Structure 1
């Protein structure tokens, strides 16, 4: 009898631990592009021309306009790519955006400044809850549970188009 109880208890604990993981699996259609409309505070995960998922987003603390230089608090605009994944992010989970590209670097250099970098789509990491809708240093923020979905769905190399 102890054997059966031990087995059931161990199985139940294993299932609970699996439910608590921030890493999800995804078996749906491939995300072929990410589309961001900064003015609408919306992010769309697309398969071809079809939106698979839509999310409300937070942006940099100075959200209007294109990112030009390091420290301007703006979220970049233009065509980029997802270039890395960070399972150990300080913001729950994150996926990196290929900012700055060559044009961004040249533009900042012409201003005598650095373009900045480390732009991500990331979660809020509970410590940032309640900071308002636009609180990042230029990144795109969504809820932690939503970031778990996005992290499972989006692959390195996925294009991301960020529009005003």
Structure 2
């Protein structure tokens, strides 16, 4: 399995118009551009994704939809609370992702949980993995995602492609 962990792109600040709750924070114009840059980078590199899972928060959902608009127009992301901020339970998230159809799955979530999950998958727990807004990492597994079983291939940021 190839797992692409992707942090949501840049979002409006809490308290901005329409963002009274953290849940409702939408992508900024720059966030939409970051999403498009990552999606197009995957396409240029001929990286394919079978399914996209996302946190239900607006900014993560918008990032996932933006990716899918390039990769698989008309397809919707699968949303799951396991990708919501402050809800990280690595074993449960791995079970959910293993059940998502396909061998190449993208998961759109939030920091610091995304970094902590990547470290758990790679067998590291030193806070060394950070995701910039809109960044993506590719982790490979021989089977389903599990603690310490992943191999990190790369981490990219959208700014490299903007």
Which structure has greater strand proportion? 1
TM-score (ref. length: structure 2): 0.26
Which structure has greater helix proportion? 2
TM-score (ref. length: structure 1): 0.26
Which entry has the higher C-alpha Rg, 1 or 2? Answer: 1
